Structure 1
């Protein structure tokens, strides 16, 4: 299977990216800002970083770690394991100095890690929405509960469909159910076309429904701004 996303990020790291990484949904296409998204500095003082650091402890799992931007900072404080489904991204993290980068699927955590392996986990980049459905989200939360300790915490970020302008979000698909939507897109790079990605978008109220019956509760939730659809959430057991 081709991996245009991982390959473009690896090439950027090596200063070998000569063509843009494209996000596409049908005729709608735009360049994905690789440098800004994956190679910026971890700023402990910004709101996003403060939210992460206020909820994590070690051992720590970085799910969908990209090029390792967050792990490179956090591994200086905690034992941190960074996982990605892309061999190119694992290779990139190793080259950048990530201590423990592994190829693993965040939606199959029990296959990779033993029970109670981590104190905290996080997934930043809205990749938790790749659960694809609310049932998939609940299954992910159960798996995450298995590999985290009884006092474990988890943080991730999402988009709230109630606040999204469908004309502005590439790949947006409305849903008649309140608080839910889908997003569909793929990546292209140097003629390679990646697999179609299906995101299940859910608002905070839908997330609270999803954690019901799991080991988790929603401990904190914040939006980037008053009118922003992007929000951060922390779960605790």
Structure 2
């Protein structure tokens, strides 16, 4: 069975100037147009406060587990490998100039890379939530520790479910402190993607999940419910 990929196809079409319909985020009757240009085609700014902070935690070789926008900057400074499960997104990354873009699953790192392969890792886009559970997050962090060096660092991001102003499409509350859910799917033209279930973890829950994986949370930056955190090897 062929898996649909409206998300990747829409971003590819935008890059090629062929997008004639919006990419839609949908949760039931609630929809929004996905901000493709803002999220995926802005340039990484190392002079900005956020960019300088992110760059300060990263070194090569770097594993970029996102859509490859930042790989364009970091590959000029050290070896950078960008992975994405979408073949459309990998094609887009290559067309944009990412030199080492591969189809790959961030939740299958041990099967893909050797031990100690990378000096740092980057996952910007809140896709860590697709780990699905605290156990899944622990497994991911353990696998990330396996493929990174003993002195490695990593930068991840997410939405904090404890933020009282949370107004996120697809948001579902959870009675457990520091945890919530997000459920949505993408639509592009007549193509409908699979339902995605994100588990939302507060920074404290990430700290908890990191225990025993080799990682510890070194720093957290928050902005109205969205956070980025730096991990170092414990």
TM-score where L is the length of structure 2 = 0.97
Q: In 2, Cα distance between the equivalents of 1:75 and 1:163? A: 35
The aligned runs of 1:21-170 (5 Å cut-off) are 21-64=23-66, 66=67, 68-166=68-166, 168-170=167-169
The answer to whether structure 1 residue 233 and structure 2 residue 232 are counterparts is: no
Q: Deviations over 1:172-231 (max 9, x none)?
A: 00000011100000000011001111111011111111111110111111112xxx1011
Q: Deviations over 1:48-88 (max 9, x none)?
A: 21221010000000002x1x210001100010000000000
Q: How far did residue 47 of structure 1 move?
A: 2.8
Q: How far did residue 19 of structure 1 move?
A: 0.1
Q: Deviations over 1:100-142 (max 9, x none)?
A: 0000000000111000000000100111111111110000000
Q: In 2, Cα distance between the equivalents of 1:47 and 1:184? A: 31
SS in 2 for 1:161: coil
Runs of at least 4 residues off by over 4 Å: none
TM-score where L is the length of structure 1 = 0.95
Q: CA RMSD in A?
A: 0.9
Q: In 1, Cα distance between the equivalents of 2:158 and 2:61? A: 24
Deviates more, 1:207-216 or 1:2-11: 207-216
Q: Deviations over 1:139-166 (max 9, x none)?
A: 0000000000000111111111111535
Q: In 2, Cα distance between the equivalents of 1:220 and 1:214? A: 17
Unpaired segments ≥5 residues, structure 2? none
SS in 2 for 1:78: coil
Work out the number of aligned pairs and report it: 231
Unpaired segments ≥5 residues, structure 1? none
